[in-house]
Structure 1
Amino acid sequence: LMASWDRNTIILLDLVKQPENARCADCGAPDPDWASYKLGVFVCLNCSGTHRDLTDVSRVKSIRLDNWEDDLVEFMRRNGNAVAKAQYEKSVPAFYYRPQQHDCVVLRDQWIRAKYARQEFTGKNGHLQKAYSSGFCDGTLWKKGKNKRQFQKRRFVLSQDDFTLRYFIKEDSKVAKAIISVRNMNAVFQPEKVGHQNGLQITYMTEDRTRNLFVYHENGQEIVNWFNAVRAVRYAYLRKALAPANDSELMPLLTTRSLKEGYMEKTGPMQWEPFKRRWFVLCSVDRKLLYFKTPMDALELGAVFIGTEAHGFSVRETPTRGSRGSRWRYGLTMETPDRNFIFMCEQELEQRDWIKAFQQVIAQPLLPQHYSSKEERQYNCVIIHNKHISK
């Protein structure tokens, strides 16, 4: 019996080294050490948790720690991640977000449930895709009040007909409180920031300034449907706006995560103003550094467009002495053609991470969409910073 166990473990460890099995079938994490012996897939520890909840369709065991019977090992040998993918991911819409290793729980959980429990992508249950593929979404989400911490129920309507997201104060309101164009809208899961496991941050432009909405839905499937519905409408918009761009060019633009977020202290343009703590968000796709008073602010206080070294942009460490009024010791200076920005970080590691992130954006070549708006954005950022000089 012991020899059989050892032999089966060796076979499984050999199977999981094959290229198609060497990453988790659901999130792509390397070196999965769990497997579903009902589905024939190799998965990571995190994804195995969701599989464990789906007893009707999946049963998991540890490759290394559990005893595997011969017939189960043979089943794993005949199947594997590539076979399962061909079946369970046969008709995933181009815009549908496939979670990665470090994505939040609700995204990974709902992807696994959609694939195996609901079988949304096998070609048999296409009607289930209408919730996010139809180009129209109408429902209720909990939305954070602009100046309050509490969340209130609001009706949201997403429409591909005019590429807008509207929200209404009351269910039966005829006039929307806000009409948001999907042209420059972004949706990204932020459970820690929102304080709810299904928390979603929706960002958009209004009068050249960035505005945030923070929403959630109690039901994981509902909020992931909303997220993918936003991606679907953005996809339809970008296909029109950026024709003849192909899917590989459009996919990274559907939703974008910030490159780095966190607190730093900043001073004003004269560099003698007192340092104030602000929440900074750096986005590499649109090359912008935004800052807010707190992570949950609705409206940005300022924005800086970040060009390339050839356009006069650079970042470097700042000597700590002489930083007026800053409680924090680890400084960095970002040079732009208009002015130098001095920021202070609390920890040396943070300072290094910010410098590295800025360098990454500066090193990226400018794309056509950046050239068309670069001068305008630089002008706007000067106006914004002058207007909010004391903020």
Structure 2
Amino acid sequence: MGLDCQSDRSKLSSPMASLERNNKILLDLARQPGNNLCADCGAPEPDWASYTLGIFVCLNCSGMHRNLPAVSKVKSIRLDRWEDSLVEFMRERGNSYAKAVYEKCVPAFYYRPQQRDCIVLKDQWIRAKYERREFTGENNYSQHSTLWKKGKDNKQFLKRIFLLSRKDFTLRYFIKEDSKVPKAVISMKDLNAVFQPEKINHAHGLQISYLHDERMRNLFVYHEDGQIIVSLFNAIRATRLAYLQRKHPTLRDNDLIPLIATHCLKEGYMEKTGPTQREPFKKRWFILCSKNRKLLYFKTPLDATELGAVFIGTESHSYRVESSGRGTRVGRWHYGITLQTPGRQFVFMCEQEQEQREWLEAFRKVISQPMTPEDYVQYTDVAQII
């Protein structure tokens, strides 16, 4: 009788033991090279898995996989119950296996989202890989799109037609479908496209920037369909890469890929005063870019055209930046920054001390960066008009 009870207790505890064993196996698998980073965004220590695709993913990407129930089903490798057959499937597959299948033909220009990128980029990357299977063979990218574009002088978004051409490396946009003459013809030479969902206040918000009459011009666009806006984004990247390949025929793609797009070092509000430093301080939106060594400023984050710019050289060319403390200024913004250039001293004010520290760090990063031959051209030619 005692032996029978012991046997019964053993049978009752067996499922729990099996659960613990399988979860331990999965945790060990998730620590292996390849599996130790999310299969989709590269986040470390993924603790979820798709048991239909055989991949390990992070919590955020697992939520996107839940939106693809026909191709991907996910479980927590710590909390959920895993059958032996599913554990064996995960052991046979893994992230490296899936990458070889689902990322076999990812074009060099295609942007691979990282952990901190916006949701629409990561969501469309996951859908492109597993739902549409775009990278298991050759692909065609959308080059004709109808987007919602913010008006130059108002906050209203209006429908505009965008046409991308690899023949002459341009992006054109038209007011109407039947328009013969484009509103603008944008060269790939200086075009930059980055997702800015927070700034545009839309999950699919894309900012397209380019030089027009030597000033930065911004277009703010979106589309309700994430696939369409991400397809256009990557089509722009493809055209930019083709332009760079034409311009730099001796460089390899690995050297050109970082040149496709530029991300600013820092952007946000500061207050500025004029050349004599006796003028009233005005609140402006600033953008600091390391690639062109420029500090741009706008009245608002969604301005179409910059109000001014200043080139930032190196310390050896008499550029330096320092904190100017709280000072005696009357007003609510007291955290000052002084930027010294060969021709002028600029004074800015930040609202918070943390903002001041971040701007100082960004300025110092640009100043410490050696100048390129292109930078020396700007150093002699750019007019400081802040």
- TM-fit CA distance, 1:319: 2.9
Q: Secondary structure at the match of 1:230?
A: helix
Residue 336 (str. 1) matches residue 341 (str. 2)? yes
Q: Secondary structure at the match of 1:143?
A: strand
Q: What is the TM-score of this pair, normalised by structure 1?
A: 0.93
Counterparts of 2:199 and 2:300, CA distance in 1: 10
> What CA deviation, in whole Å up to 9, does each residue of 1:76-129 have, x standing for no partner?
111111110011000000000000001111100000000001111112xx2xx2
Please tell me whether the aligned partners of residues 265 and 326 of structure 1 are also in contact (alpha carbons under 8 angstroms): no
Paired residue type of 1:196? H
Counterparts of 1:216 and 1:29, CA distance in 2: 27
Residue 80 (str. 1) matches residue 86 (str. 2)? no
Please tell me whether the aligned partners of residues 138 and 158 of structure 1 are also in contact (alpha carbons under 8 angstroms): yes
Indicate the residue corresponding to 2:263 in structure 1. Answer: 257
Paired residue type of 1:60? V
Indicate the residue corresponding to 2:29 in structure 1. Answer: 15
Alignment equivalent of 1:181, drawn from 179, 187, 205: 187
Residue 27 (str. 1) matches residue 33 (str. 2)? no
Paired residue type of 1:187? A
Indicate the residue corresponding to 2:6 in structure 1. Answer: none
Alignment equivalent of 2:235, drawn from 226, 229, 236: 229
Residue 102 (str. 1) matches residue 116 (str. 2)? yes
Paired residue type of 1:332? I
Matches within 5 A, 1:22-101: 22-101=36-115
Counterparts of 2:173 and 2:299, CA distance in 1: 25
Residue 371 (str. 1) matches residue 381 (str. 2)? no
Counterparts of 2:88 and 2:303, CA distance in 1: 55
Indicate the residue corresponding to 2:301 in structure 1. Answer: 295
Counterparts of 1:8 and 1:30, CA distance in 2: 21
Alignment equivalent of 1:199, drawn from 198, 205, 228: 205
Alignment equivalent of 1:138, drawn from 144, 148, 154: 144
Counterparts of 1:27 and 1:153, CA distance in 2: 32
Counterparts of 1:316 and 1:363, CA distance in 2: 14
Indicate the residue corresponding to 1:348 in structure 2. Answer: 353
**Higher Cα Rg: structure 1 or 2?**
2
- TM-fit CA distance, 1:53: 1.1
Across the aligned residues of Structure 1 and Structure 2, the Cα RMSD in angstroms comes to 1.2
> What CA deviation, in whole Å up to 9, does each residue of 1:332-352 have, x standing for no partner?
111111211111000000000
Counterparts of 2:96 and 2:293, CA distance in 1: 37
Q: Secondary structure at the match of 2:230?
A: helix
Q: Secondary structure at the match of 2:235?
A: helix
Paired residue type of 1:304? V
Counterparts of 1:297 and 1:113, CA distance in 2: 33
Residue 327 (str. 1) matches residue 337 (str. 2)? no
- TM-fit CA distance, 1:243: 2.8
Indicate the residue corresponding to 1:219 in structure 2. Answer: 225
Counterparts of 1:300 and 1:64, CA distance in 2: 51
Alignment equivalent of 2:253, drawn from 239, 244, 247: 247
Please tell me whether the aligned partners of residues 275 and 326 of structure 1 are also in contact (alpha carbons under 8 angstroms): no
Indicate the residue corresponding to 1:115 in structure 2. Answer: 129
- TM-fit CA distance, 1:374: 2.7
Counterparts of 1:191 and 1:28, CA distance in 2: 21
Counterparts of 2:121 and 2:261, CA distance in 1: 14
Structure 2 stretches of 5 or more lacking a match?
A: 1-14
Q: What is the TM-score of this pair, normalised by structure 2?
A: 0.94
> What CA deviation, in whole Å up to 9, does each residue of 1:282-332 have, x standing for no partner?
112221111000000001001111112222222110032244x55301011
- TM-fit CA distance, 1:272: 1.2
> What CA deviation, in whole Å up to 9, does each residue of 1:357-376 have, x standing for no partner?
11112222222332333311
Equivalenced residues, count: 372
Please tell me whether the aligned partners of residues 16 and 31 of structure 1 are also in contact (alpha carbons under 8 angstroms): yes
Counterparts of 1:310 and 1:61, CA distance in 2: 57
Indicate the residue corresponding to 1:388 in structure 2. Answer: none
